[in-house]
Structure 1
Amino acid sequence: MHDECIFIQTITTLNLGNKGIGHIEAQHLANALQHNTTLTILNLEDNGIRDVGAQHLANALQHNTSLTTLNLGSNGIGDVGTQHLANGLQHNTALITLNLGNNAIRPNGAQHLADGLRHNTTLTTLDLGNNKIRPDGAQHLGDGLQHNTALTILDLGSNGVGHNGAQHLADGLQHNTTLTTLNLWKNEIGHVGAQHLAHGLRHNATLTTLYLMDNEIRADGAQHLANALQHNTTLNKLHFDGNGIGNVGAQHLAIALQYNTTLTALYLGDNEIRDVGAQHLADALRHNTTLIELGLWKNEIGHVGAQHFADGLRHNATLTTLNLEYNQIRGVGAQYLANALQHNTTLTALYLDGNGIGAEVNDIISEFLERNRSKGQS
Structure 2
Amino acid sequence: MEGARVPPGARIADDTVSNMSLEICHEQLSDARWMELLPLIQQHQVVRLEFCDLTEGRCRDISSALWANPTLTELSLNHNELGDAGVHLVLQGLQSPTCKIQSLRLEYCNLSDASCEPLASVLKAKSNIKELVVSNNDIHEAGMRTLLRGLKDSACLLETLWLESSGVTAANCKDLCDVMAARPFLQDLELGDSRLGDAGVATLCSWLLHPSCRLRKLWLWECDITAKGCRDLSQVLRTNQNLKALSLMLNRLGDEGAQLLCEALQEPTCQLECLWVKECSFTAACCPYFRAVLAQNKFLTELQLGENNLGDTGVQELCQGLGQPGSVLQVLGLVDCKLTNSSCSSLASVLLACHSLRVLDLSNNGLGDPGALQLLESLRQPACALDCLAVFDVYLSSGVWDQLEALEKEKPSLRIIS
| Shorter-chain TM-score above 0.5 | yes
C-alpha spacing 1:280/1:70, structure 2 compared with 1 (3 Å)? same
Tell me, yes or no, if the aligned pair for 1:58 and 1:87 is still in contact at 8 Å: no
How many Å separate the matches in 2 of 1:150 and 1:27? Answer: 33
Residue 288 of structure 2, aligned match among 251, 256, 281: 251
Structure 2 match to 1:166:
201
Structure 2 match to 1:291:
329
The answer to which of 40-49 and 153-162 deviates more is 40-49
How far is 1:43 from its partner?
A: 2.6
Residue 241 of structure 1, aligned match among 267, 273, 278: 278
Structure 2 match to 1:346:
385
Tell me, yes or no, if the aligned pair for 1:347 and 1:369 is still in contact at 8 Å: no
C-alpha spacing 1:318/1:18, structure 2 compared with 1 (3 Å)? closer
The answer to which of 194-203 and 255-264 deviates more is 194-203
Structure 1 match to 2:246:
210
Tell me, yes or no, if the aligned pair for 2:171 and 2:200 is still in contact at 8 Å: yes
Tell me, yes or no, if the aligned pair for 1:143 and 1:168 is still in contact at 8 Å: no
Structure 2 match to 1:312:
350
C-alpha spacing 1:134/1:66, structure 2 compared with 1 (3 Å)? same
C-alpha spacing 1:147/1:39, structure 2 compared with 1 (3 Å)? closer
The answer to which of 164-173 and 113-122 deviates more is 113-122
How many Å separate the matches in 1 of 2:389 and 2:53? Answer: 44
How many Å separate the matches in 2 of 1:40 and 1:196? Answer: 38
User: Which residue identity is paired with 2:266?
Assistant: Q
Tell me, yes or no, if the aligned pair for 2:351 and 2:384 is still in contact at 8 Å: no
Structure 2 match to 1:358:
397
User: Which residue identity is paired with 2:293?
Assistant: A
User: Which residue identity is paired with 2:77?
Assistant: L
SS class of match (1:154)? strand
Structure 2 match to 1:97:
131
Give 1:29-48 correspondences, 5 Å limit: 29-48=62-81
What's the CA shift string for 1:154-175, capped at 9, x where partnerless? 2211122222222222222212
% identical equivalent positions: 27
How many Å separate the matches in 1 of 2:42 and 2:207? Answer: 40
Higher helix share: 1
How far is 1:280 from its partner?
A: 0.9
How far is 1:359 from its partner?
A: 3.6
C-alpha spacing 1:372/1:115, structure 2 compared with 1 (3 Å)? farther
C-alpha spacing 1:117/1:344, structure 2 compared with 1 (3 Å)? farther
Tell me, yes or no, if the aligned pair for 2:297 and 2:327 is still in contact at 8 Å: no
C-alpha spacing 1:120/1:212, structure 2 compared with 1 (3 Å)? farther
How many Å separate the matches in 2 of 1:111 and 1:353? Answer: 42
Tell me, yes or no, if the aligned pair for 1:83 and 1:112 is still in contact at 8 Å: yes
**2:261 aligned with 1:225, yes or no?**
yes
SS class of match (1:266)? strand
Structure 1 match to 2:364:
326
Q: Which has the higher contact order (CA 8 A, sep 6+)?
A: 1
How far is 1:261 from its partner?
A: 0.5
Structure 2 match to 1:200:
236
Tell me, yes or no, if the aligned pair for 1:233 and 1:261 is still in contact at 8 Å: no
User: Which residue identity is paired with 1:115?
Assistant: R
Residue 109 of structure 2, aligned match among 39, 54, 75: 75
How far is 1:355 from its partner?
A: 2.6
SS class of match (1:242)? coil
Q: What is the number of residues matched between the two proteins? A: 375
User: Which residue identity is paired with 1:148?
Assistant: R
C-alpha spacing 1:285/1:196, structure 2 compared with 1 (3 Å)? same
Tell me, yes or no, if the aligned pair for 1:241 and 1:268 is still in contact at 8 Å: yes
C-alpha spacing 1:56/1:148, structure 2 compared with 1 (3 Å)? same
Tell me, yes or no, if the aligned pair for 2:46 and 2:73 is still in contact at 8 Å: yes
Structure 2 match to 1:143:
178
C-alpha spacing 1:355/1:19, structure 2 compared with 1 (3 Å)? closer
**2:340 aligned with 1:302, yes or no?**
yes
Tell me, yes or no, if the aligned pair for 2:347 and 2:375 is still in contact at 8 Å: yes
The answer to which of 318-327 and 350-359 deviates more is 350-359
What's the CA shift string for 1:301-352, capped at 9, x where partnerless? 1111122212223321110111111211111111222233336321121222
C-alpha spacing 1:39/1:326, structure 2 compared with 1 (3 Å)? same
